[in-house]
Structure 1
């Protein structure tokens, strides 16, 4: 069977505090986008096999798809094997949840292939055991996300917006971004203001509340992030922000003309440049 694994951007990300267990308490506005990996998954006699068009993605036990497949096979006593082929379009170390999106898609596919009849809640609970962003990727719905990424409060209002993604070649390790963050000096902003803006269809409120606590430490590692942001604003985009821990930067606009202008300007200049848009529920395709 074929399934799409949709990427996400963080319209807002606040690192609230470091917890005693070493994890960071977060508050985020996460939005799915139409950029996706394409995954083909079939039943085989035994084992777990992963192949990909990507030469840098691990296809063994390190892969998040492998981990969720192992977990589900054990949990639901699945005797047969699983073969996965993934066409990667979402870049790695970008802050776009490419790995988590793939993991969520495999959970959904196994649920269908083996007629497990799991609810989204049950699939999200399984995903949480493997990766903090997987529960969001199960639902693929605009949400205020808190905790370590497992608490989801959905925003039912659709948000129509065109998005340009630009990623420099150098990625950012999520672990390094968090470890180099000085919370006493970090910028914090109320993500509920962004949620309110979306709910009230107030585009300017969304633009005004774009913020990411991890941006400063990531810019120190990859200075091009700041350069890309500045160039996006000069072109005419309404707002620009690094997604997640980076290094991908996104810019928002309502204008096809600005989107195309930005795409032409950045294409060939940076490692990854892609036109996309916020994914709303009426656009979902498995």
Structure 2
């Protein structure tokens, strides 16, 4: 029996860094939601007790460094499974882009193995297991709109954003979250107003949402990768109302109410940036 799982990308509507903790992690406060750009994960059962990973992207490792591999390893250990699995990943989410592609693949593996091997774990149990793999994995288990705190693993369900189109623009660079956080000085950051963003979504107020989205890491990433700042400026000049960088970058996100405008912005960015997408939000509660 082959199982298929979709692994949706995530975007940030806010990202704030509150300081560094004693354990070396930074305390963060983020609003995240999922979009309909997704990887496709196939799980093939194996009689031999082993884990095999194959991704169709040269920048994704096909060994124990892959978060999907780590997810399968953790799941087998946790639930004492002595069977094997081959994981095939069709990558549609850009790599090292601030869109949570690797974390979502890992979450898809946890959900899929839970079904394949009839373990019966709850989503909360899978999220707890995923938290040891990567800080975005618990969010990706649920793929709804959430406020994430701690180092990203503590989640609270919040109202979804108003329905809109999302323009994504990723320059031809990869950004390491670890390196970005090495350059963070919390006292120098510009902090978004997280509560104001939550209220805008509760009131289904698109204008207020766009006025308040923000990412405290932008100044750090912009200083190291000026191309990202140029993409944001170009998107703003094109008339995009809510623009911010997702995660630690380099993808820039623009929220747009109407498809015709999203398409115009998309066309304007195509000559400037290799990877540009128009997507929609998944959380339609």
State the TM-score, normalized to the length of structure 1.
0.96
The alignment of Structure 1 onto Structure 2 pairs a total of residues equal to 282
Where 1:51 maps in the other structure, the secondary structure is strand
Q: Counterpart in 2 of 1:90? A: 93
Paired residues of 1:172 and 1:221 also in contact (CA < 8 A) = no
Match of 1:136 in 2: 139
Matched, 1:150 2:153: yes
- In the alignment, the residues of structure 2 paired with residue 75 and residue 119 of structure 1 have an alpha-carbon distance, to the nearest angstrom, of 13
Say whether residues 1:22 and 2:24 are aligned partners.
yes
CA contact (8 A) 2:211 2:241 kept: no
Q: 2:82 aligns with which of 79, 82, 85?
A: 79
Structure 1 262/13 Cα, relative in aligned 2: closer, same or farther at 3 Å?
same
1:221: how far off? Answer: 1.4
- What is the Cα-based RMSD across aligned positions, in Å? 1.2
- Per the alignment, residue 4 of structure 2 pairs with 2
1:55 counterpart residue number = 58
SS of the residue corresponding to residue 187 of structure 2 reads coil
Q: CA deviation at 1:158?
A: 5.4
How does 1:98-247 map onto structure 2 within 5 Å? 98-157=101-160, 159-247=162-250
Q: Find out whether 1:258 has 2:261 as its counterpart.
A: yes
User: Do the aligned residues in 2 keep the contact of 1:5 with 1:37 (CA within 8 Å)?
Assistant: yes
Unaligned runs of 5+ residues in structure 1 are none
Q: Is the 8 A contact 1:141 1:281 kept in 2?
A: no
Gaps of 5+ in 2: none
Distance of 1:171 and 1:126 partners within structure 2: 27
Residue 159 of structure 1: how far off its partner (Å)? 2.8
For residues 160 and 266 of structure 2, the distance between their equivalents in structure 1, rounded to whole angstroms, comes to: 28
Shift of 1:269: 2.9
Question: Is this contact kept in 2: 1:235–1:258, CA < 8 A?
Answer: no
Q: Quick one: distance in 2 between partners of 1:25 and 1:271? A: 33
Task: Give distance in 1, aligned partners of 2:111 and 2:73.
Answer: 14
CA deviations 1:127-147 (Å, max 9, x no partner) are 011111100000100011111
3-state DSSP of counterpart to 2:186: coil
TM superposition score normalised by structure 2 = 0.96
Q: Could you tell me how far apart the structure 2 residues matched to 1:129 and 1:173 are?
A: 19
1:19-60, Cα deviation, whole Å (9 max, x unpaired): 011100000110111110011111011211111211110010
Offset from partner CA, 1:91-121 (integer Å, 9 cap, x none): 1111100110000000000000000111110
Flag as ranges the 4+ runs of structure 1 deviating above 6 A. Answer: none
